[in-house]
Structure 1
Amino acid sequence: MKRLIFIVGFVAWFLVGCYDDKGNYDYKEINTIDGLMFMPTPIVVEEGNSYRYEYRQPAQEELKVTYSPVFTQSMVEGEDNVEYLWTVAYKEGSENVVDSVFTKELELAYPPKQATKYNVKFRLSDKRTGVDHYRDFIMTTKVPFVNSWFILNGPENDRKLSTVEEPDSTNPIISYDAYKDLWNRERFQKAEALSYVNFLTLSDGMDKCESLYVVQRDSVALMLPFVLEDRKDSRSLFAPGANPSNLVYSESHPMSRYAIAVDNNGKFYHSGGSGYYFTGLTEADVQNYVIDKIYMSRSGFTTIWDKMNRKFMSFNPAENRCYDIPSPDGSYPQNAVESNTVEISDFPVEGLSEEVDGVTHLMEILWLGQGITSGSEETGATAIGVMADTSYVFYIEASDKEKSMRADESPIKVKRVNLGELGFDQNTCFATSSAYAEQFFYTKESKVFLFNTVSKESIELYDAGDVITKLKFRSDVDASFPDNSSPYRCLGIVVNAAGAGELHEVILDEAGDFVTSHTFTGFGEIKDLIFTTVMRVIQ
């Protein structure tokens, strides 16, 4: 039986081995298109067939970019067998436009001073095989200098306006002379200070609502920050013959329509939404005022410390609005001078001096800034001073004058709190933010500390490595991150060591604890800085 099985199996194998396959199996290779990519290299939004390009909005000349596919073919040399189709959708005014382009290369134009967006679909067809390859693109421009630090840096008489764009990114864009980079000429060599106003307005016309004030010794430049252009001729911002005397300081609030310029004599000029400046006037008993410290709250309410006369003073632009009708030629509105006289008045503050053992000690006010109580945040301020080596904080809260208990009662309430001996002096830098109620930040040499005014506790947060010369939050109102829901807060720290200026950014969490930091260098001495962002009511 075993022998029979073996014989049958052998015969079957022999017959299969001798079988000649007469089937018609004619296999042919076909052309394939591989490695389809594009020049210039896009930013991949998501893996697959969707891509994105993003450019800084050009300021002067139209930007033109040529896009071209790059690929290989497995069996064909040349490109006679392929067809190209670019379908480009965009808006022209209020009209939706769709163009079709049948060339290999696509050239798109990005006009200056305006936002541009193209939605593009690309099709590559192999005419021999009938196989199509598709890709989707979004091409956009972004407004420059939004969410950026503007830095006034360099030695006296050779100042420059530098910028740090996208400081949160892994590749921030730094310009060490932003104005010259855009316009190929130098400006602001004698600038002394910066301030920024962000009008709450509709979402359209973004580059026409914010104002960057660059205070120079003899004038103020009113700039559109996101295109670095003058909103008005700086020579027309002051009344003819006013001749401001050596302007050295500027004050504003990002959410207010008002701005102030202070000269080296401690006198000030105030401006409203128009940008024109008017001379500040005072009540009879404070006409000889000399501004030493000044702060403007988000409502525009302004607190002043007169070091010469040892007085706190205030004025409220909401009650002294700037009404001006510009002349047809854009010159200074002379007809508005009399209606724009701001009234400065002093208000009583107790505890500015004390007598101990026959010795009179005077309070030295070191700083004025954002209020850190619910009453002082919107309309008021926080003042920090030192007297006989003891540090104090003053909560300044202003209310509606009509709501006062008596006719002679001041609508401005001030509360003084003893903080103990903290070693504050003229070199101490301070900062506050509404994100951190009842807390303020201060420096000692190279270190930043957080002080809790309730618990009287001080916590070291950061060591900058050298003496700190300025503290400034991106905004004292909110987080000022591109995503305002972020729990982090950002504190700008200036270090000027032997003329080598550095900007450190310290990111804090909601409790005020250190999260991370990054440092920007190469500016030379930093005189002033301001952060520009966009906060607006959208309807």
Structure 2
Amino acid sequence: MKRIIVILSFVTWLLCGCYDDKGNYDYKDINTIEGLTFDPVPEVVTKGTSYRYTYRQPIQEELSVTYSPVFSQSEVEGEENMEYLWVVSYREGNENVTDSVFTKELTLTYPVRKSSSYNVKFRLTDTKTGISAYRDFTMETRLPFVHAWFVLNGEENNRKLSTVEDPDSTHAIITLDAYRETWDVERFQKANSLMFAGSVSYTRDMERLYVVQSDSASFMLPFALEDAKASRNLFAPGLNPTNLVYGVSHVLWRNAIVVDDAGKFYHSGASGFYFAGLAEDNVQNYVIDKIYMSQSGFVTVWDKVNRKFMSYRLNGMNGCYNFGVSEDIYPQEAVEYNLEKLTPFLVEGLQEVDKQGATHNMEILWLGKGISVNSSEEGATAIGVMNDTCYLLKIEASSKGGKSAKADESPIKVVREKLGKLGFNGNTCFATTVAFMDQFLYTEESKVYLFNVVTKEKVELYDAGNVITRLKFRSDSEGDFQYESEPYRTLGVVVNAGGQGELHEVVLSVGGDYVDSHVFTGFGVIKDVVYTAITRRLN
């Protein structure tokens, strides 16, 4: 039986080996689309099939961009077998529009000073095989001058408003004389300082850029460089400021104060209209030397001539501010609501008598954001020097004002801390931020130091290489950001490099250590800088 099974198996193998397969199995390779990319190269690629292009909104000339697929085929030379389809969706007026384009290249235009957005679907098809490849695109413009340093540069009476956009990126855009670049008109030649104020509103075009000139204070939309109102209408007839020097603003509420060369002040709210500052009877001869506005609208003033600290409450509850931003005529009837007054408050320890009987007065060098919890919200930090010894004053105000205080106590508390002999003088620059409580930054020639008020220790953070003339954080008031976030840890450093101004941007860690820096040049003399921080999301 075993022998029979072996013979049958052998015969079967022999028959199979002799079989001649006459079938037609002529195989051909199928053409495939390979390496599909696009020119220009997309800014962002998501999951390999979704692409995004973002462009700075054109200012003077419309932008035209041509998009073209780049690919190869596995089996075919030439592209006669290819079919191209671009389905372009966009909004025109109040209507949604969809166009189909059957060409290899697609050209889109982006008009000047207008937000543009396209949603595009692309299909590439081999007409012989029916095989297709698909891609999705988003093309849009972004507002210019968002996330930008505004730089007031140039000699006196020949100032220019320049910008550095996206300074912490690899493609920062420097625009020298940005206003002329935008409108082809010279302006701000007599400007002295810059202020920026954001908004807690979630609508567009609410930020304000204030450019203080000797005879005006422009009230502008920073991301379009357009006047929100004509400057000549912002001051009441009869005020006629002629020698405005500088100003301060509230980052969130669009309140602002400007000061003239006589030390007198004018204040405005969200409407942009300015009102003459009032003062208590005993300080009518005040001369403002330094001024700071806190998060709550509490204003601290140092009068160098009369050696007095004073306060002023600037907030939206003041009746003279309750006028629409869109109104262009100065509201004369609002003057009667301008009732707040500049009021002095006592600060002890501003004068000392030494053992030899000589009297020493404290020179206040700087006034800025508070570095304690209370002074940060409503108050200020003052830094001064007396008899070569440096002092810090923590000014903390009651949120309810003088009415909340008892008869025998002041609503404003001032704590004086002795820092030691640190060599501060009139050329020392200072800066504070909510990111580093109980600490402040100061300069010595070309170097920036971080000083801890609690431990009395200083740490060198950065050497700019030349004399530093100004320090300014991107933001020093609370917005939608977390206190430790980048706007509060990114420092603008203005440097005088042999008569040529440089803007250094220094990024610090949450712990206050140096992380990175960027240097921007070409400005000439720099008078002032301000950062257009977004305090809420753009819709």
Q: Tell me the TM-score normalized by structure 2.
A: 0.89
Give the residue type in structure 2 aligned to 1:444: E
Partner-residue secondary structure (3-state), 2:271: coil
Q: 1:392 to 1:321 in 2, by over 3 A?
A: farther
- Mapped to 2, the partners of 1:322 and 1:66 lie a distance apart of 53
Q: 2:526 & 2:326 partners in 1: Cα distance? A: 39
The answer (yes or no) to whether the contact 1:32–1:74 under 8 Å persists in 2 is: yes
Closer, same or farther: CA 112–392 of 1 in aligned 2, 3 Å: same
* Change in CA separation of 1:363 and 1:338 when aligned onto 2, cut-off 3 Å: same
**C-alpha deviation, 1:282, in angstroms:** 1.1
Choose from 213, 218, 236 the match for 1:216: 213
Q: Give the conservation status (yes or no) of the 8 Å contact 2:268–2:321.
A: no
**What is the CA–CA distance in structure 1 between the aligned matches of 2:409 and 2:482, rounded to whole Å?**
44
Shift, 1:358, TM fit: 1.3
Q: Tell me the residue number matched to 1:374.
A: 373
Report the Cα distance in structure 2 between the residues aligned to 1:30 and 1:326, rounded to whole angstroms: 69
Say how many residue pairs are matched: 523
**In structure 2, how many angstroms separate the alpha carbons of the residues matched to 1:242 and 1:382?**
31
1:432 lines up with 2:428 in the alignment: no
**Structure-to-structure mapping, 1:415-494, within 5 angstroms:** 415-477=415-477, 485=485, 489-494=489-494
Distance in 2 between residues matched to 1:109 and 1:482, nearest whole Å: 38
Structure 1 residue 184 displacement after superposition: 1.8
Q: Which amino acid aligns with 1:371?
A: G
Pair 1:236-2:221 in alignment: no
Q: CA deviation at 1:145?
A: 1.4
The answer (yes or no) to whether the contact 2:431–2:471 under 8 Å persists in 1 is: yes
Distance 1:243 1:403, change over 3 A: closer
Distance 1:451 1:230 in 2: 41
- Offset of 1:300 from its aligned partner? 1.1
Identify the residue that residue 349 of structure 1 maps to in structure 2. Answer: 347
Residue of structure 2 equivalent to 1:297: 294
Indicate whether 1:309 and 2:316 are aligned.
no
Structure 2 counterpart of 1:531: 531
Partner residue, 1:334: 332
Unaligned runs of 5+ in 2: 1-12
Residues 481 and 535 in structure 2, CA contact (< 8 A), matched pair in contact too: no
Which 10-residue stretch deviates more, 508-517 or 35-44? 35-44
Residue 312 of structure 1 aligns to a residue whose secondary structure is: strand
Q: 1:359: which partner in 2?
A: 358
1:251 to 248, 261, 278: 248
Paired position in structure 1 for 2:501: 501
CA 1:19–1:184 in 2, change beyond 3 Å: closer, same or farther?
A: farther
Q: Residues 358-404 of structure 1, C-alpha deviation per residue, up to 9 Å, x if partnerless?
A: 11101100000000011101110000001111111111111023664
Q: Which digits, 9 at most, give the CA deviation of each residue in 1:152-202, with x for residues without a partner?
A: 011111111111111111121111121122112221111110001112112
1:286-307 deviation digits (Å, cap 9, x = unpaired): 1111110000011111000000
Give the direction of change, closer, same or farther, for the CA distance of 1:261–1:58 in structure 2 (3 Å limit): same
Q: Which residue in 1 is equivalent to 2:116?
A: 116
- Distance, in Å, in 1 between the alignment partners of 2:246 and 2:169 is 31
Q: Distance in 2 between matches of 1:44 and 1:397?
A: 48
SS of residue paired to 2:374: helix
Q: For 2:507, give the aligned amino acid.
A: I
Q: Which residue identity is paired with 2:352?
A: E
Cα distance change on mapping 1:447 and 1:328 into 2, 3 Å: closer
Mapped to 1, the partners of 2:277 and 2:98 lie a distance apart of 56
CA 1:465/1:312 → structure 2, altered by over 3 Å: closer, same or farther?
same
Report the equivalent of 1:6.
none
Looking at structure 1, the residues matched to 300 and 487 of structure 2 have their Cα atoms a distance apart, in angstroms, of 30
Is 1:163 equivalent to 2:163 in the alignment?
yes
Contact 1:149 1:164 in 2 (8 A): yes
What code does the residue aligned with 1:332 have?
Y
Q: Which amino acid aligns with 1:286?
A: V
**1:275 paired residue number:** 272
- In the TM superposition, what are the counterparts of 1:115-154 in structure 2 within 5 Å? 115-154=115-154
Task: Describe the SS at the equivalent of 1:512.
Answer: coil
Greater shift, 209-218 or 81-90, is seen at 81-90
Question: 1:225: Cα distance to partner?
Answer: 0.5
Q: Return the alpha-carbon distance in structure 2 between the equivalents of residues 342 and 31 of structure 1.
A: 81
Question: Residue 3 of structure 2 aligns with which residue?
Answer: none
Alpha-carbon distance change, 462 to 146 in structure 1, aligned in 2, over 3 angstroms: same
Residues of 1 paired with 2:242 and 2:402: CA distance?
A: 37
Contact kept? 1:380, 1:398, Cα under 8 Å: yes
Distance 1:486 1:473, change over 3 A: closer
Shift of 1:29: 5.3
* Structure-2 change in CA distance of 1:61 and 1:155 (3 Å): same
**Correspondence 1:22-33 to 2 at 5 A:** 23-28=23-28, 31-33=31-33
In structure 2, the residue matched to 1:383 is 382
Structure 1 residue runs without a partner (length 5+): 1-11
Separation in 2 of the partners of 1:328 and 1:352? 46
Query: Which of 281, 284, 303 is matched with 1:284 structurally?
Result: 281
Secondary structure in structure 2 of the residue aligned to 1:322: helix
Match of 2:511 in 1: 511
Task: Measure how far apart 1:98 and its partner are.
Answer: 4.2
1:233–1:38: structure 2 CA closer, same or farther, 3 Å change rule?
A: same
On the 8 A contact 2:484/2:510 being kept in 1, the answer is no
CA–CA distance in structure 2, aligned partners of residues 167 and 503 of structure 1: 10
- Cα deviations by residue, 1:249-282 (Å, 9 ceiling, x for unpaired): 1111212331011111111111110111111121
Match of 2:232, SS? helix
